[in-house]
Amino acid sequence: MTQSSLRDPVALTQALVRCPSVTPAEGGALALLEEVLTPAGFTCHRLTMTEPGTPDVENLYARFGRGQPNLCFAGHTDVVPVGDEKAWRRPPFGAEIHDGVLYGRGAVDMKGAIACFAAAALRFIAKNPGRQDFSISLLITGDEEGPSINGTMKVLDWMRETGERIDACVVGEPSNPKALGDEIKIGRRGSLSGELIVHGKQGHAAYPQLADNPIPKLARLIDRLSTTPLDAGTPDFEPSSLQVTVISAPNTATNVIPGEARARFNIRYNDLWRRPKVEAWVREQLDAAAKDARARYDVSFSGTGDVFLTKPGPLVETMRRAVTDLTGRNPALTTNGGTSDARFIQAHCPVIEFGLVNETIHAVDERCPVADLVQLADIYERFIAGYFGATG
């Protein structure tokens, strides 16, 4: 890319979208960012993280300056698969612009935001030559859409081990439901998944007295889990929710009572809870239902994200002012939606999320208006200037 295009969020978004970086492939996206950032004075670290049983993942940590505070922008260049490519009106990795709209996988989630905060950082640096009282860093992973094992979590561990400290972070996930400036996410609910196994005794369906059918017992257990409310919500969060997502039995014959039945569920919990308390609540409900149903069960849990909230303060208010100044909207401070890599970053520094409009993420013909990319870069630049107390 030419030097003049480095600060153009639209051209940079197009270049990133044209990198086929479907998880866990790097696809050239991190190499492109390194090519853009290094000439501007960023020190770039390409970090390949590994874990047995998972694919290796390439990540990037880039930092300009050595002063404090260190303001970090975080995101991911990996994208979900395109699905049926024939269903797309425009090539999914073509980054074509039609009628003022840029099409392509990752345009919104979230290569567009990465291009915008990279362009904003480069502009701010160019307008403030010689300043040594700040740092700007980018933490870019290739594993957010995948297992999230060899990405942000491990890069943060590497940063801690090498003495890299970040003081505040903006994650560029698409946070707006309808229009740029609708919402700033200041927290996320915790997410916990569980697998429930109810044990029975296999037998012939014609002789049920010789078997022990686990399926009706499983139904009673998951009915209690699904219908017992966890709470009524809090001032900052929606009510916690348990949703059963999978029910199965290892059986292909209609005349056989299976020996076990399984269910999987997911819980999104608010700031009334922490993971140990959620697990204890699940076991309490299952014990009560199992006693009535005379059921034998096992339950196991998995999950990598606890609930967090970034209270309104300098980070939140600086972003809110930047958004309001440039969009005319007063963004709501929300904690809804799914999970993001902010769940890892919150243990290291205050973190918020603000990015593009999320209507087409993971969809066929993922797309965003070019005008939104231009405006988002302007918002990020205004935010950086405000955070560092500069006029930019």
**Catalytic positions, written as ranges:** 78, 144
Across the chain, the runs of DSSP E, i.e. the strands, are 43-51, 54-64, 70-76, 97-98, 101-103, 135-141, 168-171, 183-185, 187-188, 190-199, 203-204, 241-248, 256-257, 260-269, 296-305, 308-309, 332-334, 351-353, 367-369
Nearest alpha-carbon partner for 108 in 308, 321, 357, 323: 357
- Provide the 8-state DSSP code for 212: B
Report the first-to-last Cα separation within the chain, whole angstroms. 25
Tokens 């009535």 belong to which residue?
A: 292
Type of residue at 306? D
For residue 223, report the phi and psi dihedrals to the nearest 5 degrees: -65, -40
Nearest alpha-carbon partner for 366 in 92, 75, 152, 63: 92
Cα distance between residue 196 and residue 252, in whole Å: 20
Which secondary structure element, helix H or strand E, spans residue 386, and what is its range? helix 370-387
Which secondary structure element, helix H or strand E, spans residue 296, and what is its range? strand 296-305
Cα distance between residue 340 and residue 362, in whole Å: 15
**242 with 230: CB under 8 angstroms?**
yes
Type of residue at 64? F
Nearest alpha-carbon partner for 383 in 164, 236, 375: 375
Type of residue at 111? K
* Token pair belonging to 85: 């490519």
